[in-house]
Structure 1
Amino acid sequence: MMARVTLRNLAAHKIRLVLTAVAVILGVAFVAGTLIFTDSMNRQFDDMFSRIGQNVAVSVRATDVGGGGRPVPAAVVESVKKVDGVENVVGNVTGYAGVLDRDGEVAGAPAEQGVPKLGVNWADDAGFTMASGRAPRGPGEAALDTATAQDAGVGVGDSVRVVTSGPVQRMTVVGLIDTGDLMGASVTAFDTATAQRLLLRPGYFTDLQMESAGPSESKLRDRVAAVLPDGFEAITGEQLREETKSEVAQVMGFFRTFMLVFALISVFVGAFIIFNTFSMLVAQRTRELALLRAIGAARPQVTRAVLGEAVAVGVVGSTLGLAAGAGLALALQGVAGLDARLVFTPTPVIWSYAVGIVVTVVSAYFPARRAAKIPPVAAMRDDVALPQRSLRIRVALGSLLTAAGAALIAAGLAGSGNGAVALVGGGAFGVFIGVTMLAPVISVPVVTVLGAPFARLLGAPGRLARRNALRNPRRTAATAAALMIGLALITVVNVLGATMRTSVDRQIEDQFGADYIVQAAGGAAAGASVGPDVAGTLAKVPGVEDASMIYGGRAEIAGEEVRYVAGDAAAVAHAVRLETVAGKAEFGPDGILVSEDNAKEHGWTVGSPVPVRFPDGQSATLRVSGIYAENAMVGGQIVDPRVYLAHAVKPQIDLVVVDAADAGAATTKAIEDALGAYPNLEVSDQAALKDEARAQVDTMVTALTTLLMMSVIIAAVGVVNTLALSVIERTREIGLLRAIGLGRRQLRRMIRVESIVIAVFGAVLGIGIGVAFGAALQNALADQGLTVLSVPVLTLCAYMAVAAVIGVLAALWPAWRAGRMDVLQAISTE
């Protein structure tokens, strides 16, 4: 019998439950889309790597620091070729190489996106295939991947300009390469001698790969390892493929976790909507449920009947959410510029239904329990209402959580480092839950204030709207809480973004002492480097007083692999306004400059020995010649350029710092003209550096805000749902209001104002909490660069206005439906 009751109720409340299912659909779509997209990418990478390394039995590479930066000399190649069982030894050369289009821009994805521009030497079994043309055979020839060639507007036989670490090379395109799919990476192939000259060093290879003439990979690896000099290792092809897959899996795992966090936020917000909807449905069916109890239905049966409706909503919502997730995965592939087919594994299906059904059932459980507690005698009363618990327990628990969260935040602010951030984060979550529990109490005074202007300006509709919002504080709070969560997180992101922008501006003002810096587009992270002749070219520009190179490298310093900079001590000190706290800003014989925190961590003072091991396998002991105050632009250590060049495989010039007699527009243009042969280089002054930093922060803030907007959309659906159910619940009341003279326009205005007040209440809570959390996180991260708190007031005011607009839009359908009610039928409704 109860199963039939459940089905009948589902059929009777289709519109209400469809709105509830929308919250499930959106949350599940986010989860499913993320899982389908990452599964598809992982399958694509597995296929790609199995093709690329399928003929490799053993690989030889450096074991030293710096990411294996030590090259393999040709002598090692000759030794390996003599090993029994080795055949087809191939030496690989890789580095940075970009292709210029007809406008002088580097073709392919922008360098800011971190997509690599690979230069390689062509090998017939490198895993790529020649789509058309032939392999490069001389110093003036190159082969391009088809996507880069298309973007550059060139084909086989055309002349193209290629950028490496030196001047632009003019080459002829002799072939087009099919790379499969390398996530948008550009590939430019040269013959081996040209690749070594442009990308590495003549007579050296990045690594070696070989096939087996019979022995197993492990046996061949052992034989090859026996002839290798110190600093090199041999690994099997299987190990090489697994390491490559593991690196990609780590990146995709981070992306999956990152996206799922936002998906779960959306699901969490949806839980508020589901809870609110079922609470209202149960309240509206109190008499019906009491009649079921009166004719013999037991409490567990009533509970199961309501939960059965929740299961049905969860199943439908999960199914539609899974389908929507596939569409989202396709959209993500389009944004990423990929065209691979989607891969459907059991994982997204299982998680979609698990999330959708479990969240719906758990959210509906407490309303279902309350429904079962309705006494049978209530069926005989006209004024029956669902019993409500006192707010005392809720207020006490909410106050306790808020106080505990505030205490954790205070403890975090008193500390430093990642532990302090964790305390602040945990405290923020506690305050979040506490405020949510206190929202019914908070709503009374806040809604009273927010509704006052409407009551004065709109008369009766405004007063009625305010009273309706105050009538059921629990419902108002639950509806507003969903919007509060999304806007609180968005506010935190925007406060931290504004703080980062202001802090970086202050940092550049305090630490940027040069007039200009010149760096390669994309920077060292993309593998780009400034050419060794650039500093000399700039020094000859009229008005330029000095141009100094600053190198970047990696080394094992005091047992820890770190990145360091190297450059003339005086030039670096001037360029970044280095503040020396001990010793002098000069190297002397075998000197090294270290930051104050670095010195404290290792117990160094001026004159202390510092053990260093470089990527070429050589070790040295440097001595601290100076200690400087923390400086984000140079990091923890600065090395003498002579020491760096003595151990560098191929010098990596990160930037050139330039001082001019007059850093005006004329000097800027003269510098840009002098760099005409280096179109991949960028000239920046202090203002340009600020703009670049702001653009990066803005991109991050926009991306995070966009992801969090899903929770706001779900919250808006919740406002629609609550108002729609409220209109149904107040059908008789609305009829009476119409009967005593309230016009349709006034009725719709009343519902719109009620919606606006609820939405703005959620926005006030969310923005207030977000600003407080943002300030707490800024304080906790002050020692990591966030030194200046900045609150984007105009942006937050815009969000408040958006919340009001959400209220207006959410009220359109409920208000329209209320206005169309027949007055006599509404009055006669029980």
Structure 2
Amino acid sequence: MFRTALRNVLAHKARLLMTVLAVMLGVAFVSGTLVFTDTFGSAYKNKSAKSFDHVSVAIRQHGGGPDDGSQDGKQPPRLTDKLLAKAKGLPGAGSAIGTYSGFAALADKDGKLVGGDWGTTGANYYPGGSGKDPRYDFTEGAAPKSADQIALDSSTADRTGYRVGDTVRYSTDGPVRTAKVSGVFDTDDGSVVAGGSLVVFDNRTAREVLNKTEYDEIDVKAAAGTSEAALKSAVEKILPKDTEAETGASLKADQDRMIEQNTESMSQVLLIFAGIALFVGIFIIANTFTMLVAQRTKELALMRAVGASRRQVTRSVLIEAFLVGLIAAVAGFALGIGVAVGLEALMNAGGATLPDGPLVIGPTTVVTALVIGVVVTMLAAWLPGRRAAKIPPVAAMNSVHAAPTVRGLVVRNTIGSLIVALGVVMLFMKDNYVKAGGSGVILVGVIVLTPLLARPFIAAAGPLLKPFGVTGKLSRLNSLRNPRRTASTASALMIGLTLVTAMTVVATSMGSAINKMAADSMRADYIVSMANYQPLTPKVRTQLDKLPEVAASTPMRTASGEADGSYTRITGVDAASFDKLVSLDYTSGSAAALKAGAVLVDKPFADDKGLKAGDTVPVEFDDDKTARLKVGGVYEPNEMVDGLFAPTSVVDPHLNKISDQQVLLKMKGGASDAAEDKIVKALGDNPAIKIQDKDALSDEIGGAINMMLNMLYGLLAMAILVAVLGVINTLAMSVFERKHEIGMLRAIGLDRAKIKQMVRLESVVISLFGAVLGVGLGLFLGWVAGDSIAGTVKTYTMEIPAGRIVLFLAVAAVVGVLAAVWPARSAARLNPLQAIKSD
């Protein structure tokens, strides 16, 4: 039977090729997604990674939080040069360095921010006992030695074209500074590996420009023969209050745990895509083998007639499936690597910049590819092979292409209806996870019901096919000849379009909701902030107010404290101009109360505390000072505006350092390129400062949604390839089964062009059937998802992206035309006499 299976595989090269292609694309679909998932996750991990090769013991503030100069400043400096000197002198200490790290925005030669997506970091160069900093390996020039010098990482130098001796512009806290590049270095800093930039200053300059009052960390390297544990015991004897010592091994373990937590949610999202790919891949493989085994019914019956047992027949099919699956798995895995690269390129082209990193091919991905290619192919072949082996030989040889029984279709339709009903019931549950599960159940139910749905759809397409005359009628009848096969073929395209349509509806609706939020709540034309969202110097607002084009401005500076027992943030604003820049929907009171020193509170807070306009709320700020603030107004919050607002005169006395989170601007002539250019120039073309209008703000908030949508479009491209192959398979088998019929049509006068047209129309009907089902189901699932979102995002309303939906249907029609090229050509080239004799 093994020789028979092998001979059978090699004897039908066309069938072998079609099967291998089906399995290969299914494997590529899954393995490509898994490779992309691993690569994406690894790049994120690298972004957060930090080498501890130069650290045996690290001295840090208790809890590991560095002093960035923006805290309340109650504690005196602890990680000082004095402590560093003590650490160096400890027995068993080989060397010790102090480290600073903070935000440092570098401008490229066009004035644009470098490394903005994955880190714009500044750090210090601290020469240790050897006179070198072990964190940096200089390849050109030397380390910076004065305030007018900096060093750049080699990746940033390559991207920007900066070389030793060039003058660069940078900013750390607002003002723009210039310096010369003293050297270029290599580093294993994770942020740099992921595409960020690293600017290194000499130790004194780093302390000044990064606004540090003490070191972020003191790293001690053990001398030869001293263990980390022994050195840690020695370090603990000199620790100031509220500091701690950690070994390098402990820090590495903590980092690994932190990275795992930070990437967990992202990995879950990507694994959902891998699961979708797995589902589609298995579906296509099973569908293809079902059709292929059905095509071989007479051949299998002949084997039974000459003495083969049912088990031997089934085994021969499984052996064939194993050989095909193994070949296809290897080819599909190789193609999957290309798919992963293509997905990354597609997302980057769509604006969703990913961190840089090497392609990661994990052992799990390799095993999964083999499992899908071999095991799934064998499982897909086992059921139809077993079913074919159970048919009596004489009956099988006399009814090669028998249509499915009415009883089988009734059972299938009943099961499908019950599954859909279960999914609908789940949609009415309150839990969002149950609702999501209900959507999946409905999708499965519709797949089961597709043979039932095929008849009314194809009947509805009759008027569109009527102008094509006899070929249109024949294509309609051929599509209905085997509703199971037609439905299975259409389902591949349906699955992809269902997911993409639903996601597109949600993304479009969410984008409109965000835009409406911005339009409803923001009267300001521009929002000015630091690129890393750190505090902004108040000098920025002062500079902007000097512009004659500025009609109004307000800072947004934040203090924290307990308001009536609840820890919250209180945003300080300009009482005179706030109402001109922010539009709030007040349930009581108004913004005018700010001028009298009152506070505005959002409705959830007011309801929780039982407050209304005119009441007072006790506040204890983080500096331990208290105040009783009068409630001047209660407003409805949204995702862009919430919390408590008070005049800056109330907030400023409780801040250790006056700084703004944002500055809102209203321009006399509204937002325009000219107005934005004025703002940029007024701030000195500062790479550290971000200037956003309402559209830019909406785009930023919707960035995650757009990234997910781009990923889905990437998967849709693979789904279309798989769907094309499925349609080709179906049409090729349909042509094979109808050789006699096609021969008769040719004999009575139907020419080759009409034969081709008949097959093409059949292909288009099947493709559009899948597309209409997918779009319809996608709209329904998009509505379900939107119903859940509308509960939390009040401006959300479902919007149907008509243009994109028309595009999806047009793509489906093109898929039908392209998929029919080879089968139509094969049908037209049949010799009428030979075809008539073939039955």
Aligned match for 1:351, one of 345, 362, 368:
368
Is 1:233 matched with 2:225?
no
State the partner residue of 1:310: 321
Evaluate the alpha carbon distance shift between residue 303 and residue 780 of structure 1 in structure 2; reply closer, same or farther with a 3 A threshold: same
Report SS of the residue matched to 1:321.
Answer: helix
Do structure 1's residue 504 and structure 2's residue 514 form an aligned pair?
yes
Partner of 2:424: 406
Map of 1:406-555 to 2, 5 A cutoff?
A: 406-412=424-430, 419-420=431-432, 422-454=433-465, 456-520=466-530, 522-524=531-533, 530-551=536-557
Q: Post-superposition shift, 1:724?
A: 1.2
Assess if the C-alpha contact under 8 Å between 1:487 and 1:712 holds in 2: no
- Greater displacement, 624-633 / 335-344: 335-344
Change (3 A) 1:217 1:40: farther
Match of 1:794? 803
Q: Contact between 1:272 and 1:479, CA under 8 Å: does it hold in 2?
A: no
Matched, 1:183 2:197: no
Deviates more, 1:643-652 or 1:146-155: 643-652
Q: Which amino acid aligns with 1:8?
A: R
Q: Deviations over 1:533-590 (max 9, x none)?
A: 1100111111434332224688899999988755456655653323454687678999
2:208 aligned residue:
197
Residue identity opposite 2:719 in structure 1: S
Q: Report if the CA contact (8 A) 1:760-1:804 is conserved.
A: yes
Say whether the 8 Å CA contact 2:156–2:197 is kept in structure 1.
Answer: yes
Report the equivalent of 1:212. 222
Note the C-alpha offset of 1:117: 0.8
Aligned to 1:55: 54
Match of 1:678 in 2: 686
The DSSP-based 3-state class of the residue aligned with 1:784 is coil
Contact 1:587/1:625 (<8 A) preserved: no
SS of equivalent residue, structure 1 residue 663: coil
Matched, 1:116 2:128: no
2:176 aligns with one of 168, 175, 185: 168
* Deviation of the 1:608 alpha carbon: 5.7
Q: 1:144 aligns with which of 146, 152, 167?
A: 152
Contact 2:86–2:238 (CA<8 Å) still a contact in 1? no
Task: Give the match for residue 416 of structure 1.
Answer: none
Deviates more, 1:641-650 or 1:726-735: 641-650
Q: How does 1:632-647 map to 2 (within 5 A)?
A: 632-636=639-643
TM-score for the superposition, normalised by structure 1: 0.87
Per the alignment, residue 825 of structure 1 pairs with 834
Deviations 1:641-695 (A, max 9, x none): 6787677787763321123455365755543442334254344444554566677
- After superposition, residues 682-701 of structure 1 pair within 5 angstroms as 682-687=690-695, 689-690=697-698, 698=706, 700-701=708-709
RMSD: 3.7
Preserved contact between residue 29 and residue 322 of structure 1 (Cα < 8 Å): yes
Percent identical among aligned pairs is 38
- Does residue 99 in structure 1 map to residue 106 in structure 2? yes
Q: Which structure 2 residue ranges, 5 or more long, are not aligned?
A: 127-131
Q: Which moved more, 1:574-583 or 1:160-169?
A: 574-583
How far the C-alpha of 1:708 sits from its partner, in A, is 3.0
How far has the Cα of 1:297 moved from its partner?
2.7
**Structure 1 residues 294 and 600: CA distance shift in structure 2, 3 A:** farther
Matched-pair contact (CA < 8 Å) for 1:270–1:715: no
What is the one-letter code of the residue matched to 1:400?
L
Tell which deviates more after alignment, 423-432 or 694-703.
Answer: 694-703
In the alignment, the residues of structure 2 paired with residue 432 and residue 139 of structure 1 have an alpha-carbon distance, to the nearest angstrom, of 64
Structure-2 change in CA distance of 1:352 and 1:664 (3 Å): closer
Letter in 2 for 1:54: D
For this pair of structures, how many residues does the alignment match? Answer: 808
> Which whole-Å CA distance do the structure 2 matches of 1:693 and 1:49 have between them?
23
**Cα separation, partners in 2 of 1:350 and 1:721, compared to 1, 3 Å:** same
2:408 corresponds to 1:390: yes
Give the Cα–Cα distance (whole angstroms) in 2 for the partners of residues 444 and 234 of structure 1.
73
Asked if 1 retains the 8 angstrom alpha-carbon contact of 2:586 and 2:635, the reply is yes
User: Counterpart of 1:633 in 2: which secondary structure?
Assistant: coil
2:285 is equivalent to residue 274 of structure 1? yes
CA–CA distance in 2 between the matches of 1:238 and 1:739? 83
Please state whether the residue corresponding to 1:115 is helix, strand or coil.
coil
Check 1:397–1:49 CA distance in 2 against 1; reply closer, same or farther (3 A cut). Answer: closer
Per the alignment, residue 597 of structure 1 pairs with 604
2:766 aligns to what?
758
Deviations 1:170-192 (A, max 9, x none): 11111112124521110101112
Secondary structure at 1:411 match in 2: coil
SS of aligned partner of 2:584: coil
| Residues 60 and 79, structure 2, Cα contact 8 Å, conserved in 1 | no
The match for 2:817 is 808
| Pair 1:738 & 2:737 matched | no
Deviation of 1:255 (Å): 4.9
Distance 2:769 2:76 in 1: 69
Alpha carbons of structure 1 residues 125 and 247: separation in structure 2 relative to 1, 3 Å: farther
Over residues 739-783 of structure 1, what are the superposed CA-to-partner deviations in whole Å (9 max), with x where a residue is unaligned?
Answer: 111111100110000000000000000000001111111111113
Gaps in structure 1 of 5+ consecutive residues:
413-418
Structure 2 CA distance for partners of 1:669 and 1:273, relative to 1, 3 Å:
closer
Aligned residues of 2:575 and 2:595 also touching (Cα < 8 A): no
Q: Deviations over 1:477-511 (max 9, x none)?
A: 11111110000001011101110121111111111
Q: Which amino acid aligns with 1:90?
A: I
Structure 2 residue aligned with 1:415? none
3-state SS of paired residue (1:787): coil
Query: Mean Cα displacement is larger for which, 551-560 or 428-437?
Result: 551-560
SS at match of 1:76: coil
**Structure 2 CA distance for partners of 1:351 and 1:558, relative to 1, 3 Å:** farther
569-578 vs 130-139, which deviates more? 569-578
Per-residue deviation at 1:429?
0.8
Q: Is the 8 A contact 1:576 1:633 kept in 2?
A: no
Distance 1:778 1:700, change over 3 A: same
Q: 1:651 to 1:466 in 2, by over 3 A?
A: farther
Aligned-partner Cα distance in 1 for 2:243–2:791: 40
Change (3 A) 1:749 1:329: closer
* CA distance in structure 1 between the aligned counterparts of 2:675 and 2:264, rounded to whole angstroms: 48
CA contact (8 A) 2:47 2:355 kept: no
Q: Any idea what the Cα deviations from partners look like across 1:364-408, whole Å, max 9, x if unmatched?
A: 332123212211332563677376452222111211111121122
- Contact 1:462–1:750 (Cα < 8 Å) also in 2: yes
